[in-house]
Structure 1
Amino acid sequence: MKYFCLILSSTIVLLLIGCNSAISYKNDTSNVFEIYNNNTKAIILYEKGKALDSITAHLLSEDIYKVTNQRLNVVNNINAANGNTIVIGSMDSPLINVFLKDETLKEGFKDQWESYLYKTISNPTKKIKKAFIIAGTNPRGTAYGIFNISKKIGVNPWYWWADVPVTQSEELILEQPDFYSNAPSVAYRGIFLNDEDWGLQPWADKTFEPETGDIGPKTYSKIFELLLRLNANTIWPAMHPSTKAFFYYHDNAKMAEVYNIIIGTSHAEPMLRNNVDEWSEDTYGHFNYKTNKDNVYKYWEDRVKEAKDINAIYTIGMRGVHDSGMEGVKSNDEAVALLDGIIKDQRDMLKKHINLDVTQVPQAFTVYKEVLDLYKAGLKVSDDITLVWTDDNYGYIRALSNADEQKRSGGSGVYYHASYWGRPHDYLWLSTTNPYLIHEEMMKAYNLNNRKIWIINVGDIKPAEYNTQLFLDMAYDASKFQNPEYIATHQQEFYSEIFGSELGNSISKIREDYFQLAFERKPEFMGWSQTEPTTPIANTAYNTLANGDEIQKRIDAYDAIEKQVQVIETQLSGNLKSAFTQLVGYPVKASSHMNKKFLFRDKAMIYAKQGRKSASNYAKLSHQAYNEIEALTKKYNMLSNRKWEGMMDMKPRKLPVYDDPEIILSKTNTKEAIGISVEDTLTTSEGALQIPTFYVNDIKSYFIDIYLKHTDHGSWSFNDFPKWVKLSKTSGNLNVSNIDEERVFISIDWNAWKKAGEQTSKTFKIETNSEEKNIQINISKSYNSIPETSFIEKNGMAVMYANHFSKKNDIDTLKWKEIRGLGHSKSVMQSNLLKVSPILNQENAPFLEYEMYTETISETANLTLVAIPTHPLTTDSELRIAVQWNNEPIQLINFKTEGRSNTWKQNVLSNKALKQIQVPIKSTGKQKLRIYMFDPGVLLDYFVLNTRNQTQIPYKLMPETRLNSLK
């Protein structure tokens, strides 16, 4: 016999599935509640007249049915309840008072925001043997208590939205000590449905809600249920031209009311209006408060009257009709003056129609885009209005509340993007925002007391399931997330709850690699194109001829996670396949093929210039990758018996990046039958091919490519190479129908090299059918006497990761903090967040110090410092560090960017902020780099020293240049 046992406490949640019948309870069985077994079938009791209690009571019954195949009776009359009874309701309801009137409750609990308790009571009435109480401090609190039970018994919040199967059991028994939840960490927590034109809206229109032909009440009911299951309470409804305004369908508002979901609107939509759909210039005139005040005012007031009984947060202020600047103003000063009057008028209408005490009406002022400039220019916002700060659309919050703003009675919050339409490029297709970045930015906001409203732009909801869950989990219980390393645990728990612990651990690692690869470059950005204005695709910045072949390394990384996905697919039971495709398979595979489409295109075009016959094969692979995306997308839309037909579009906005790329292969006139090139394409003055320099005892290999050019077949062999030279292959045959190119790796056997006399230069030959070429090896002995694992310059470059400092000097509470998991190096150093003003002298400034060894003397070496492209913490701060090279003068560097500058665009496309300074290397040997803390919130990632007058650094993060770094 199978049992399904649930044990909960305030500190531990233990879920035992499939317990055997020998399990025994403690002698004290007062906390044991049998929901269903051979002898018991509980009843669910809720109070009549409470809409959300009715909905959640019936959903709980359905959830239990999914688990046990037994549907519990749901009643709203206490006289109809008997035996074991699950009692649900709000703390202030007469029903709950029957059961808790004599109970001593946790002090202050009734006044907590959106909280719930669990309590088991024996024989509370003559007919009820046991009552399991789920009571909330408001109806949403009750709902959270119910749905958290549902989750523990095996009904995942994404059971419908991602087709996550329910684990079934023959019996269902709770062992639940008395439990009081904490209040949510953030008061208003929710999502913004946006850019729904390519997923949510066409899917609702054609597949899920054809009777409405739009995102209507049926769709919203499913969304609202999901929000409650995710412990959320707020929505900004869909508002693009493809969708009718939320209030167009009267039942939308009714649905929000019965689900107790709070309605808000985005930064561009004051007073619960949807300007794109509802403002008609032909009818009302220009959306200009300066010249058309009466019509605009009435437009807003009509909605306030209509929505007066709706639970809402009113967006205050004014922008253009659709995410644009306010009409009719010519300067910031004029805009500030006009906005002052607009906000006063809006608050007056709230006083008139909602509450004379307007401070009791939830209001938000979103400090977004040009509005931030107006706020900085002196716009005054009443203290009770919540300031909603925003990210820059790419995950980096532009500003947060300073010390004075944190004292506002209305508090502050954040509007954050996991999906975006706009410049420099959209990312509407695949959800790839790195969880560690979301964590760093949102926990920074939380710890700086921005806790009133958190909204995440989830686009179409799918495929942003995990990031939606992460964001809302942080908003609900931020205490779990103070340590960034909890992100890995959170991912494991998310996937393990769905796919089991063994597969869940493997999947979470795949997804971590998926997010990290996208942090290097999002799939939507792989065309190196931009939008607004739209530009054509271009070659990527990855170098296939150098640095170990950056292109091939990225292809290999995607191949690795694709193969892992394919292995898991063979292990999945049938009922998990759809959920896996939605949550893992499609995003990973589609991202992989999007990358390959452009990376193979690059190889084709670069190799064509070298005259390689293989170029045409890479062009075919590029087109094949496009075809794979088409097939994957078609499969996605067929999932779960076409349930999701219309949800996935592989070409949102039809931007050039999504097309099957045009590949024009240049023709190279050559009589050379077989071509040979070496890594970095170096040659000596005598024309020999030159391998990059090897360093004594360093385990490093470089590649030599041999390929067909002006013939269909040929052979090659290395000759006269010393025994201490290791070649992965010494000879081979090429033919156009099978192997038209080969890559040989060359390295050094250092023991054999030492026995042979420690030569520093050696030339050997490679022979083909028609010719022979010399290949030269150089060996540097510059670092014979330095400590192992030291940072060194190799081939004109030194690479160091910020967390690998040789010395760290913290002063009192000012500390450099390591944030693991974040950044290209996956571990960045953050300057102290709690410091309120810049550190002005080096005597009281914490610093990080790095040591490296160089073999080049140069007066103009270039040092590139790479940071995560965050913004200053507040509107009046900067993002500076002080840098000292050896004993040279200290230089002040500021990573702050302005508006939508080209620097900012490149930063967000690459997730890198680059600052470069020239440093003199006056002697070979040890060099010292010291970085002083100056402003809070700087995130240092890695540093690159170029000693050969190069200003460009590799796009892809290189391994650190340590001695023996590859051992």
Structure 2
Amino acid sequence: MISQRRLANQYVTITYDMMLKKNIIRCLLIVGLTIAAASADAQIQPGSIPQYIVHNRTVAAFPIVSNGKAATIVADPEDWKGVIRAANDLGDDIRKVTGILPAVVQSQTLSQGAILVGTIGKSRIIDKLIADGKINVSSVKGQWESFVIQTVGKNLVIAGSDKRGTIFGIYDVSEKIGVSPWYWWADAPVKKSSNLYVKSGKYIQGSPKVKYRGIFINDESPSFSGWANAKFGGINSKMYVHMFELLLRLKANLLWPAMWGNAFNEDDPMSPVLADEYGIVMGTSHHEPMMRAQKEYTKRKDEIGPWDYTTNAEKLQKFWYDGLERNKNFDNLITIGMRGDGDVPMGKGEDEANIKTLRSVVADQQDIIGKVYGKSPSLVPQAWAIFTEVQRYYDAGLKVPDDVTLLFCDNNWGYIRRIGPEKEKNRKGGLGLYYHIDMNGGPWSDRWINTTTLPKLHEQLNLAYQTGINREWIINVGDLKPKELPIDFIMHYAWNPDAIPASRISDYTINWAEGIFGKTHAQEIADIVAKYAKYNLWRKPEVQDPRLFSFVNYHEADRQFKLWSDLAAKAEAIEKQIPAEAKDAYYQLVLYPAKASAGVAEIYLDAGRNNLYARQGRVSANDYAKQARDLFELDQQLSNRYNDSIAGGKWKNMMLDVHIGYKQWSMPRQNQLPELKEVSPLASPAMGIAVEGSEQAWPGTEARAELPAFDVIGKQRYYIDVFNRGRGAFQFTASADQPWIKLTATKGTVEKEIRLYVDIDWKSIADGKVKGNVKIQQADTAITVAITAIKINLPHTGQPYFGGWGEFSIPAQKFSVNVPGRDAQWIPLPDLGRSVACMGISPVTAPSANAETAARLEYAIFLPDTGLVKVCLGILPTQDVNPQRGLRIAVSIDDQAPQILDARKGFHDEFREYTRASLAMSPGLKPLPPIGENYALVSRGKPRRDEVFDNLRWLDVKLDVNKAGMHKLKVFMIDPEVVLDNIVINPDDKYPSYFGAPANEHQ
């Protein structure tokens, strides 16, 4: 390994030492459901999760399995088929855990010592228990998807308010005895036990807060389709039954099926039948109206005619009528509206004409719904997806009937485009959300691996939920794998968002890891899966570039490399300790995504260093080219292991997505290394010098070599690289002309390269600016490196403060004072954004404020000079969620008047522009202009840089500093959706970087 890699040990690992303020509302984590346990019908606070399954007999406990005998499971034969099927699953789950297979019988007779499962009003067994006063179901009867689990005499009763309520109750028992919802889809091991008991009591599950909760299988070729073809002979009912079961075990209820050349209802007519029997509500994607797949149209195109409602309305109406007639007896959530054929804008681009056409489309579709169902369309669940250009139509006044759910959307990369509009809060159909954790298209593809962190999901979904978007959440999950963790979180969070505050997301992840892998390594595994997604979100694999991170400023690339390599090493070390039965799950959920993500990031870092060193003429450039090629081969080996080896080849073809070498949004034909350069060494050794802060090399550069200024505030250590441009080795000497300049070495032998560090003896310097030189000499070649050091008296405040002579950062959560506003307060959002935490507003529904009444953060800073100081606020790239007022935040210094910054100033609708370009199959997409006047911090001239890809937006302001010394930098909430990630003072174009200069904290 080349020595520069070891330099990353300069990086100080981020520690999660943030103290939450006492005025934050503290809630308890809910990992499963909001289940209350109490005597009689009293319910305790949401968020308490009773583990009603125990493994040793307790007083009055019900034995599921005891002393080698299992309780019989009884279901009414007249109950829903899905309930009877789930009861059989429970029996098999008990077998998996204990080795004892219980009898599962269909009967309408009460049996002592049995598990009695059934639906209120559908099961005679349950109805008799109610009539006899044995159970009281008033808290769930007539509710949506609710259930009661109760020990009654010598029986255990699982009673649901409806079909899915009963099924959810059954699977709740399955999960608590030790069968993960991911036992099939991630090969999660089953927790073994010889005895299973239920503690005496009554456990009540209320209705979910989000009514429809589900996933959309999309962008499914080549991986998902290739896997399904290999394992099941196609994307058919044999495959879908596993997906239905997973959704039910996650207590989800909705599916948009795979649609890339697939037709759910026609490819296998048993698919919709089984979906209905299982209890899954079926829909179709945002651009496939009236339960018709696009493929159903394309294969009839000659018969139907053009997908143009202005010229072909009659035939399209019949097409829709026939599809709805076919599916009318199933449980559906019907997509209405219309886009162009193949998920493109309809019409010729004139919004006014398209709005007029869409009004006719929706009216005619509702007329068809009324005719097919023989009742008012208001009684049939429908949704209208306000996707891409449809957002413009909605904003321009296009309305749909009040009974239709308005399905708002994100920007394709996980930031919602609208909060729930006040004018729509009381609509009968409610508000929903179509959200991406996978994307194929504009602004860029994000398909291969999980790049969505749970803190980001929480921040955005909480914003949606708190503003009334709670009727339907449908999540584009791509191939489903490897998005297991975010899917798991979203489905649990949708059940009761209030039960998982931002402060407990880490606990959620630990509990998820423990539920699959046990307690021993749960915290370490949770750390790995949280970090690989976080690091990916800094820069997603498909938009990586060798030039993104600085190789010469702030050790940025070194720090990136160390973070990734440490994470991969940790994942590999834990794999050796994982039990054999959990290794397949560990590879899928932990090792592959962490190690493969690290490998891709390291490929680009190696390529970037190779390119820089080749320009400098370093012979070591070739080593980095080799390392990139080795990592490229490793990436293929990791994918091969996933596809061919784990779980006996069960997941063949699931990791076929191309993910290295994107040049445009669409997937390349094959993985391709970034450009690598080979250096031809000179015939004899030749010294070269490179210094921190510059990409130049000496000899060969006219400008003098100089290190960035040292100052007593930062007490920096800078490096000088002495490297070889030829074959063989050479000796060099290093000397300083001032006694206060300290070198880590004064001589050495260089075969490839050596890094010298320069420090300053601050006790030996007088106040002011001093200069000196370091001379590096090899034979007749000598290079002089200029040194500047600045010393001033620093204040001793007794409290932490930040400062620097040049550029420095302030992490958002490192405030000195947090002042609540009249209606809101700033709260930490742990692990959100680029660092330890962001600062967000609670509640997010607070009204906009002015500076006098606003919540305020204050940061203590030391500025050694006067004049205008540029301050950059790094905020999350929140979209234009409320166009009526803006996205504003204010900033001031000391007692000066606050300056309001609006993220919408020059706001660019990247969603519309990128979508138009991507759907036109543009050969490349141009980056967005930055918001604000400064672009130094985000490296002017770098490729494909914008707030979407960077997951950060910069707002700039110039503040007048009238005296040197200590100051208060104040940040005010104006609009509640703005989330503060980082603050950079004095951004320096001379030393650009991706993250900005590190923080200098003093006391």
Contact 1:193 1:237 in 2 (8 A): yes
Match of 2:434 in 1: 415
Instruction: Name the counterpart of 2:970.
Output: 930
1:520 paired to 2:538: yes
Q: Answer yes or no: is the 8 Å Cα contact 2:741–2:758 preserved in 1.
A: yes
Q: Which moved more, 1:937-946 or 1:187-196?
A: 937-946
Q: Give me the whole-angstrom Cα distance separating, in 2, the residues matched to 1:378 and 1:836.
A: 26
Contact map agreement 2:467 2:845 (CA 8 A) in 1: no
How far, CA to CA, are the matches of 1:135 and 1:106 in structure 2?
8
Aligned-pair CA distance for 1:182: 1.5
> Identity rate of aligned residues, in percent?
30
Helix, strand or coil: the match of 1:387?
A: strand
Instruction: Please state if 1:959 is matched with 2:1003.
Output: no
Once residues 249 and 70 of structure 1 are traced to their aligned partners in structure 2, the CA distance between those partners, rounded to angstroms, is 35
Distance, in Å, in 1 between the alignment partners of 2:53 and 2:798 is 51
2:615 and 2:799 map into 1 onto residues whose CA distance is: 39
| 1:4 counterpart residue number | none
SS at match of 2:502: coil
Distance 1:700 1:177, change over 3 A: farther
Report SS of the residue matched to 1:56.
helix
Summarize the alignment of residues 223-372 of structure 1 with structure 2, pairs less than 5 Å apart: 223-241=243-261, 243-279=262-298, 280-327=300-347, 330-372=349-391
Which residue of 618, 637, 647 maps to 1:640? 647
Equivalent AA in structure 1 for residue 718 of structure 2:
Y
TM-score, normalised relative to structure 1: 0.89
Alignment of 1:655 with 2:668, yes or no, is: yes
**How far, CA to CA, are the matches of 1:920 and 1:614 in structure 2?**
47
Distance 1:72 1:729, change over 3 A: farther
1:117 corresponds to which residue? Answer: 148
CA contact (8 A) 1:868 1:941 kept: yes
Distance 2:52 2:115 in 1: 21
- Counterparts of 1:611 and 1:722, CA distance in 2: 30
Q: Secondary structure at the match of 2:70?
A: coil
Structure 2 unaligned spans of 5+: 1-34, 38-43, 660-665, 914-927, 931-944
Q: 1:695 deviation in Å? A: 3.0
- 1:269-668 aligned at under 5 Å gives the runs 269-279=288-298, 280-327=300-347, 330-481=349-500, 483-527=501-545, 539-548=546-555, 550-638=556-644, 639-651=646-658, 654-655=667-668, 658-665=671-678
Q: 1:376 to 1:293 in 2, by over 3 A?
A: same
- Of 758, 778, 799, which residue of structure 2 is paired with 1:746? 758
- d(CA) in 1 for partners of 2:310, 2:767: 86
Shift of 1:357: 2.4
CA distance in 2, matches of 1:415, 1:687: 55
Q: Of the two structures, which has the highest relative contact order with CA contacts closer than 8 Å and spacing of 6 or more?
A: 2
Corresponding position: 1:86 with 2:109? no
Q: Which moved more, 1:769-778 or 1:225-234?
A: 769-778
Shift of 1:57: 1.1
Q: For the Cα contact (< 8 Å) 2:53–2:197, is it kept in 1?
A: no
In structure 2, what is the Cα distance between the partners aligned to 1:668 and 1:856? 47
| Equivalent residue number for residue 536 of structure 1 | none
Kindly indicate whether the alpha-carbon contact (under 8 Å) linking 1:832 and 1:937 is maintained by their aligned counterparts in 2.
no
Per the alignment, do residues 697 and 945 of structure 1 end up closer, same or farther by CA in structure 2, a change over 3 Å counting? closer
Work out whether 1:673 is the aligned partner of 2:682.
no
The structural deviation recorded for 1:178 is 1.0
Unaligned runs of 5+ in 1: 1-6, 123-129, 528-538
What is aligned with 1:855? Answer: 864
1: CA distance between counterparts of 2:114 and 2:241?
A: 27
> Displacement of 1:436 after TM fit?
0.6
| SS in structure 1 of the partner of residue 225 of structure 2 | helix
Q: Is the 8 A contact 1:437 1:822 kept in 2?
A: yes
CA contact (8 A) 1:611 1:670 kept: no
- Find the aligned partners of 1:869 and 1:893 in 2 and give their Cα distance: 14
User: What displacement does 1:366 show?
Assistant: 1.3
Structure 1 CA distance, aligned partners of 2:200 and 2:566? 44
Q: CA 1:302–1:851 in structure 2 vs 1: closer, same or farther (change >3 Å)? A: same
**Aligned position for 1:183:** 207
Structure-2 change in CA distance of 1:8 and 1:637 (3 Å): farther
Give the structure 1 partner of residue 889 of structure 2: 881
Tell me: CA distance 1:142–1:667, structure 2 relative to 1, closer, same or farther (3 Å).
same
1:893 to 901, 914, 917: 901
CA distance in 1, matches of 2:496, 2:238: 30
Once the two structures are superposed, residues 513-571 of structure 1 have per-residue CA deviations (whole angstroms, 9 ceiling, x without a partner) of 212211211122113xxxxxxxxxxx3221101112x2121111100001101111111
**3-state SS, counterpart of residue 935 of structure 1:** coil
Superimposed CA distance per residue, residues 714-741 of structure 1 (whole angstroms, 9 cap, x where no aligned partner): 2334345877655555543222xxxx22
2:791 alignment counterpart: 781
Cα distance in 1, alignment partners of residues 543 and 685 from structure 2: 37
Contact 1:724 1:749 in 2 (8 A): yes
| Distance of aligned partners of 1:410 and 1:687 in 2 relative to their CA distance in 1, 3 Å threshold | closer
- How far off is 1:109 after superposition? 1.8
The answer for the alignment partner of 1:872 in structure 2 is 880
**AA in 2 matched with 1:598:** Y
Q: Give the secondary-structure state (helix, strand or coil) at the position aligned to 1:75.
A: strand
2:3 corresponds in structure 1 to none
Asked whether the equivalents of residues 387 and 411 of structure 1 are also in contact (C-alpha less than 8 Å), the reply is yes
User: In 1, distance between residues paired with 2:991 and 2:286?
Assistant: 39
Contact 1:944/1:953 (CA < 8 Å) preserved in 2?
Answer: no
Tell me the number of residue pairs that the alignment of Structure 1 and Structure 2 aligns: 915
Could you say which residue in structure 1 is the equivalent of 2:852?
A: 843
Aligned-partner Cα distance in 2 for 1:521–1:315: 34
**Which of 809, 828, 838 is equivalent to 1:799?**
809
Structure 1 position 690 matched with structure 2 position 668? no
Provide the rounded CA distance (Å) in 2 between the counterparts of 1:408 and 1:385.
8
1:902-959: CA deviations, max 9, x gaps?
24882111101122344455554345543333223111211222266x3985212542
1:9-50 Cα offsets, whole Å, 9 max, x none, are: 36654659996xxx5623xx1xx1112222632111111142
SS at match of 1:816: strand
Cα distance in 1 for partners of 2:343, 2:799 equals 52
Please tell me the residue identity of whatever aligns with 1:706.
V
Deviation digits for residues 110-160 of structure 1 (CA, Å, limit 9, x no counterpart) = 0221011112222xxxxxxx2211111011111111111111111110000
Q: 1:815 to 1:172 in 2, by over 3 A?
A: closer
Q: Is the 8 A contact 1:610 1:668 kept in 2?
A: no
Quote the Cα distance in structure 1 between the aligned partners of 2:52 and 2:337: 52
* CA distances 1:448-489 after superposition (whole Å, capped 9, x unpaired): 1211101111111100000000000101122321x2021101
In structure 2, do the counterparts of structure 1 residues 835 and 87 end up closer, same or farther at CA, with 3 Å as the change threshold?
Answer: closer
1:712 matched to 2:728? The reply is: yes
CA contact (8 A) 2:720 2:758 kept: yes
Q: What letter matches 1:220 in structure 2? A: Y
Distance 2:349 2:735 in 1: 76
Distance 1:65 1:878, change over 3 A: same
Which of 56, 65, 75 does residue 46 from structure 1 map onto?
A: 75
1:25 maps onto 2:58 in alignment = yes
Q: Distance in 2 between matches of 1:250 and 1:698?
A: 69
Please report the RMSD computed on the Cα atoms of aligned residues, expressed in angstroms. Answer: 2.9
Partner of 1:701: 717
Q: What one-letter code is carried by the residue in structure 2 that aligns with 1:574?
A: A
